[in-house]
Structure 1
Amino acid sequence: MNDASRQVEGVEQRPARARGGSEPISPYVLLFVMLMAAVIATWVVPSGEFSRTVGNGVSLVVPGSLKPVAGHGVMPGDMFVALAKGMIASAPIIFLILFTGGALAVLEATGAVRNALASAADSGGTRMHVTVVVLCAVFSLLGTLGVVTNSVVAFVPLGLLLAESMGLSTEMGAGLIYLSTYAGFNTGILNPVTTGLTQRLAGLPMFSGMTFRVCIYIAFVVATIVFLLFRIRTCRVSGATACAATPRMDETMPRSSPRRLDTRQWIVVGIVLACLAVFVYGSSTRHWAETEMIAMFVVMAIASGIASGIRPGTIADTFLHGCGGLVKGALVVGMARAISIVLTDGKILDPIVDMLAGWLAPLDSTAAAISMFLSAALIHVGISSGSGESAVLIPIFAPLGDTLHLTRQMTVQAVLLGEGFINCFNPTSGVLMAVLATSGISYVKWLRFVAPLLVAWFGICIAAIAAGVAIHLGPF
């Protein structure tokens, strides 16, 4: 029996760590409170619906068509039904998270990923900085191309392992992957699901205005890299305990002590890189998404286990053990989705959108564009789907922007920036809450960590909107 098999079979359950001080708010408690607030809102906000037409397979809102509809608020019992509906609707992402945990547990048992990351991370020198810059650049590109969005959850555990090998905190590990991805997603240079669809709804040529978005993308990525490197430098200089490594990949998962990669482990590293390359290719050319990535993780786990000489039964047990370790991070996605379901079933989303549009009408061009940005961010709390939000907002904001002397391109850009900016602190985002639950980071602690970057991103958004209005960003 090889070392990997003996290691897996010798796993002992560790007791849960004692908590000191006040216990952070559970994401499940936070989301349940928001769910109850949404139910109450359905009894307070008058229900209504826009008329809709279908064009090119997309349901479009008819501006000015809001009409009251008969009905009542969501009943308390239906709130729990919404929870079940949210879990079912979020099944692809939930299983992606679970299978991520299973695959990474097998990879942990081989020791390959841990040893490779330990080799890449030099906690005392410039190699760490180079690693951070390269990973930030890579994941921002994957985000801006739309290759990695919801599936970013699958890569966050790798960031946690990397942070642990560098002696950094879990916030740094999660932030390195998540913030880098959304620094790119914020602009969506060639993202067909957000930018492509939104421009099509506004009647614009697909991916027009690319040069302007590239400039915004560079600003977001540079700000993110500077933020991450500054956090690392602060930790190194101060030696603060808050910056210390706090491994959170399920602490009952099998671990291996870092050492030099042997032949079997090099093969495992090759398998991992090959699987990721295949997924990136499939996402770019064949529109692969969560389902295909789930399959990829199964293949990765089986192939890596066999290459390491781990017995089939041990591979299966380790995989299931890893899945169990991420249940907390997986089910939170369905909780977040339930809030959107309650707002939709209560028929109050359309009245909220119509109210916001009414507030924008008296404003000048720059103020209106900034208000569209803020409105899109606010609406994204209720409609977590970027494409779904665009289908609601653009048919209303596009003609409104015309009357306020805003170009269609500027209206689109304001909406896209609003949708992107809020993702990194949106409490109803299933992806964010899954990342935090998986990493063991409380929502409040995450806000404290990411706040300086959010201020910088907000400044970039406002500057970009003002510049776009000033130059009459086009083609029209």
Structure 2
Amino acid sequence: MGETNKDGSRRGKWKLYVPHVYVILFSIIVISAMATYVIPAGQYEQTEDKNGRTIVIDGTYHHVEQSPASFLDVFQSIHQGMLNSASIIFYIFIVGGSFGILHASGAIPAAVGSISKAMKGREYLLIPLLMTFFALSGAMLGLAEETIPYITILVPLMVLIGYDSIVGAAIVLLGTSAGFTAAFMNPFTVGVAQGIAQIPIFSGLGFRVVLWFIFLSVSIWYVMRYANKVKKDPKQSVLYGSGIKEFDAPEKVEELTTRHKLIFLVLLATLAGLAVGVMKYGWYLTEIAGLFLLMGILMGIIAKMKMDAIAEAFIEGCRVIVMGALVVGVANAILVILQDGKVMDTILYGFSSSIGELPSGLAAFGMYIVQCALNFIVPSGSGQAALTMPIMVPLSDLVGVTRQTAVLAFQFGDGISNIFTPTSGYFMAGLALARIPWSKWVKWIFPLIIIHYVLGAIFVTVAHMIGFS
């Protein structure tokens, strides 16, 4: 119940307040600076392994002279964090800008429209086909916010078929999230995390594809099971009797043109070239960013966009992901404070001392739990990678967990909650477009979230048991 103000008006109901991710990260920077006065300073000795990766040497931790952060260090650390993360930040901008050109070409909505039209009379197949389409977008292109506009197409289409708004929103939100979470070539999560972990970009592809297929299959089953129940009895809808206004059927459904097909050929060629480049020639962030930039320009030319329009679409693509890109630098500022204050290794020593006493299988599971918890605070995938991987990577070396498994723990810990936590901006925007109250969505999806968390735990455990690398 709301309370009454002095002027007699009613106050609004209490709402959950979640600070902006930058506010949260800056608060952690301040806390980290304070910690440099309290936590004993210490260091590990480091060396390079046969693969050229920097690793800490177990048993070499020793105390050093205290080096606490000053008042100005708190503010200077953000600039330093941006400099340290510059290669990743600009990689994210270039890839995001290139996808902005793809979005401006109109190829994706045309593909969705064509699939919808082709499946007329077999509407029940739309759910697995479209969810797979969006899951591939999340798994290979790292799309998330970019898929939100398709909710305005699919929600009314699903209502027209005889389902409800939940089904239409789930095709986009859950399909994309399943692909993003279990991604095998996501440049913003897998690519960034593996870069920080100093392992080949997109390595472990085959195992990740298997996990992606299982994760997506379970999600499709859950949506189709619900959709069939609603089709048979509309009263089974979570939204039944809620008074939510239904959508009108879309006035126009886009269709694929020859130009759109050529654009998708460029996309497929890019992904094939990417796979060959990273596996055969050891491509890293610079080469991958250059490939995506070439892809975007070619797509713009094929779409008959003017050069100025291509540039504007690129800028718009950058604008969409600017928060996620810059949050990498802000998150890195925390590491700057801890490393300059010489307490990072002390924290690592504390983690390894406690986790190292556990069986390594439980250590991998513990990393997964930590990543799951942190995603409620830092919903940005690339930001969470920048924040946690510099700690998790040396920790994995010390406790006998492969770096690839540590990346997998981050990947699932980061992705699962994005489809139900209110701190996930793109998800909440999608619910708003679909006119679905958050409470109704959570009531519907909560059993699947539990299944997803269990699957994530199983995947991480299996990865550790087989020495995933």
Query: Structure 1 residue 313 and structure 2 residue 308: aligned?
Result: yes
CA contact 2:364–2:461 (8 Å) conserved in 1: no
C-alpha separation in 1, matches of 2:339 and 2:430: 30
Partner of 2:129: 131
Partner of 1:373: 365
Query: Structure 1 residue 273 and structure 2 residue 268: aligned?
Result: yes
Query: Structure 1 residue 119 and structure 2 residue 114: aligned?
Result: yes
CA distances 1:56-108 after superposition (whole Å, capped 9, x unpaired): 22223222222111123222321222211222333344334434454344444
Residue 193 of structure 1 deviates from its aligned partner by 10
Q: Give the one of 31, 39, 56 matched to 2:33.
A: 39
Query: Structure 1 residue 183 and structure 2 residue 182: aligned?
Result: yes
C-alpha separation in 1, matches of 2:137 and 2:254: 27
CA contact 2:182–2:212 (8 Å) conserved in 1: yes
CA contact 2:134–2:172 (8 Å) conserved in 1: no
Partner of 1:238: 238
CA contact 1:332–1:434 (8 Å) conserved in 2: no
Query: Structure 1 residue 166 and structure 2 residue 154: aligned?
Result: yes
Q: Give the one of 40, 50, 59 matched to 1:64.
A: 59
C-alpha separation in 1, matches of 2:227 and 2:280: 37
Query: Structure 1 residue 291 and structure 2 residue 286: aligned?
Result: yes
Q: Give the one of 318, 321, 328 matched to 2:323.
A: 328
Partner of 2:257: 262
For residue 179 of structure 2, what is the amino acid of its counterpart?
S
Change (3 A) 1:303 1:128: same
Residue 298 of structure 1 deviates from its aligned partner by 3.0
C-alpha separation in 2, matches of 1:352 and 1:316: 45
Residue 374 of structure 1 deviates from its aligned partner by 1.0
C-alpha separation in 1, matches of 2:257 and 2:70: 60
Unaligned 5+ segments in structure 2 are: 1-12, 156-164, 232-236, 375-383, 432-437
Unaligned 5+ segments in structure 1 are: 1-19, 201-205, 247-255, 399-409
Instruction: Compute the TM-score of the two structures, normalised by the length of structure 1.
Output: 0.64
CA distances 1:139-160 after superposition (whole Å, capped 9, x unpaired): 79xx6xxxx5xxx54x335533
C-alpha separation in 1, matches of 2:226 and 2:28: 31
User: Secondary structure at 2:66's aligned position in 1?
Assistant: coil
Partner of 1:353: 348
CA distances 1:211-256 after superposition (whole Å, capped 9, x unpaired): 9x9987765454454456678789993348999999xxxxxxxxx9
User: Secondary structure at 1:43's aligned position in 2?
Assistant: coil
Partner of 1:392: 394
Partner of 2:415: 424
For residue 328 of structure 1, what is the amino acid of its counterpart?
M
C-alpha separation in 2, matches of 1:282 and 1:308: 26
For residue 182 of structure 1, what is the amino acid of its counterpart?
T
CA contact 1:183–1:224 (8 Å) conserved in 2: no
Q: Percent identity?
A: 22
* RMSD, matched Cα: 5.2
Change (3 A) 1:306 1:433: farther
C-alpha separation in 1, matches of 2:210 and 2:259: 44
Q: Give the one of 49, 56, 70 matched to 1:55.
A: 49
Residue 185 of structure 1 deviates from its aligned partner by 5.8
C-alpha separation in 1, matches of 2:106 and 2:23: 36
Change (3 A) 1:397 1:173: same
For residue 307 of structure 2, what is the amino acid of its counterpart?
P
Instruction: Compute the TM-score of the two structures, normalised by the length of structure 2.
Output: 0.65
- Counting matched residue pairs gives 403
CA contact 1:374–1:418 (8 Å) conserved in 2: no
C-alpha separation in 1, matches of 2:223 and 2:405: 26
For residue 65 of structure 2, what is the amino acid of its counterpart?
A
Q: Give the one of 93, 113, 137 matched to 1:98.
A: 93
C-alpha separation in 2, matches of 1:314 and 1:97: 21
CA contact 1:98–1:323 (8 Å) conserved in 2: yes
